[in-house]
Amino acid sequence: MDVVNILLILVVLVVLALFVMKIVQKRKNEQVEEVVEVDDKTYTLEKMTAFVKKRLDEITKINLYDIGLSEEELKRRKNKKYELKKALKGCTYGDVNDKKYVKELIYDILYKEYGVNELNVSKAIPFDVPSLLTAQDKFDIIIYMYKNEFGYEALTEIIKKYDLAQLKYVYGDAKPSYVITEEEISNIYEKENFALTFTDKLNVVVQRIYQHYKGYSAIDEIRDMNIDGVSGGVSGLPESFLSQVAQTDGDYLTQVLDNKVPRACDSIWIFFQGKSIRLAFLSFGTEAELKRVCQNIYKYNNPGQLSDTNGYKINEMKDGSRVVVVRPSMSETWAFFVRKFDVKRATLEQIVLFEGKEETIELLKFLVKGARILALTGEQGCRKDNHAYGND
């Protein structure tokens, strides 16, 4: 009887072991990607963004000990998982290397798993029909192509080539201002007449997905450029005002919704060679998107929570840029200021541009050598920081 029981126990153990091995092998060979059900909306930016978020979440949260990996493979996968988690955190601090790593992974996910190809990539952004491209679509393509050639000098090259940093009148304004309009971006796109490859198109789509997932929305690429700074939410009507107007003046609210009156979430400005230039063709779209950018852009080195009681934060980003963020009720709307300091380019010859600058530069040199007290004054964005010459 004892022998029979022992044999039965052994049989049960063998069957159980085979069952466990089968489950482990199934998990090990399991394809992590899901089958994508194709329909008319499959290749929209919203659907692809949702898929990318889900896949990256799966990669970072998967339990590697449950899939029966060898010791060497387990170590490799753990390092890869740690590297991805680190990059996903670092890219929100303005780290361009982490940003590049995350974008490359998104590219692979879309190309290898989601099935994006030459036939369907234009369903996300209509590359083949210029008349359907928005101003942001055109700008994204322009900045991508120029970045391939000029790197982080791309925006500077565009502004200089097309003389965009000039005072101009905009319809409805009584005075000229520094602004880059939607019409100017359309004209630039038409003149450039880019021949985009499939890789170029997919990279533009990847950037758009990244900037709404982990990036800084419409200013994501602009913030990386070698300019003096960028800000958002600093002009235009706040949402609180619009809610009051909706109850009293429906016609004015209609004008706002038709983009005839700029909102705070439409406010994007850059500091370029001492000039504050409004990018009228770009927008965060909604106050929620502007709020998301404000809540992420100051987080480097954990400076504390931006709250209603502590309505502002002053910090720096990973690349040394200074960032100031404000929120209601301290301010009327969510807003941020990023100032970048390019010391190597901050020469007197590059800063002082008016007629007779040679005499002014010589005078400044002698004033500093003579240890004279100098007062530096001027409006915001006139490059007072770059004029900080003196002696200890």
What secondary structure, in 3-state letters, does 257-273 show? HCCCCCEHHHCEEEEEC
Percent of the residues in the chain that have a pLDDT greater than 70, as a whole number: 80
Average pLDDT over residues 353-366: 81
- CA distances in angstroms from 325 to 59, 105, 170, 219, listed in the order given: 32, 30, 29, 15
Beta-carbon contacts of 392 under 8 Å, excluding residues fewer than 6 positions away, are none
Q: What is the pLDDT of residue 173?
A: 74
d(CA 28, CA 364): 71
Nearest of 184, 144, 148 to residue 164 by alpha carbon: 184
Average pLDDT over residues 268-284: 92
pLDDT digits (tens, 9 = 90+) for 198-236: 999 999 999 999 999 999 999 999 999 999 999 999 988
d(CA 56, CA 333): 32
Determine contact, residues 331/306, Cβ cutoff 8 Å. Answer: no
Average pLDDT over residues 284-311: 92
Q: Which of 44-48, 207-211, 261-265, 332-336 has the lowest mean pLDDT?
A: 261-265
- Confidence label for 25 from pLDDT (cuts 50, 70 and 90): low
Structure-block tokens of residue 116? 């994006």
Q: Could you tell me which residue, 319 or 107, shows the higher pLDDT?
A: 107
Percent of the residues in the chain that have a pLDDT greater than 90, as a whole number: 52
Average pLDDT over residues 23-49: 66
**Distance of alpha carbon 344 from the chain centroid:** 25
d(CA 322, CA 384): 15
**Type of residue numbered 392:** D
Is the omega angle on the peptide bond into residue 267 within 30 degrees of 0, that is, cis?
no
**Type of residue numbered 340:** K
In the chain, domain spans: 129-298, 356-387
**Type of residue numbered 269:** W
Helix (H, G, I), strand (E, B) or coil at 168: strand
Q: What is the pLDDT of residue 382?
A: 63
- Confidence label for 61 from pLDDT (cuts 50, 70 and 90): confident
Average pLDDT over residues 50-59: 92
Strand locations in the chain (E): 167-168, 177-180, 229-232, 268-272, 275-279, 312-316, 322-326, 335-339
- Confidence label for 392 from pLDDT (cuts 50, 70 and 90): very low
Would the pLDDT of 136 be above 90? yes
Determine contact, residues 236/267, Cβ cutoff 8 Å. Answer: yes
Average pLDDT over residues 348-362: 76
Q: Which of 24-38, 143-157, 274-288, 289-303 has the lowest mean pLDDT?
A: 24-38
Number of H helices, E strands in the chain: 14, 8
CA atoms within 13 Å, Cβ hemisphere of 385 = 15
- CA distances in angstroms from 56 to 81, 111, 214, 315, listed in the order given: 10, 15, 12, 29
d(CA 168, CA 177): 6
Would the pLDDT of 337 be above 90? yes
Kindly report each contact of residues 347-351 with a partner whose C-beta sits within 8 Å and lies 24 or more positions away, as own/partner.
350/273, 351/274, 351/383, 351/386, 351/387
Strand (E) or helix (H) holding 66: none
Q: What is the pLDDT of residue 254?
A: 63
Average pLDDT, the chain: 84
Q: What is the pLDDT of residue 391?
A: 40
Q: Could you tell me which residue, 71 or 138, shows the higher pLDDT?
A: 138
Average pLDDT over residues 142-151: 96
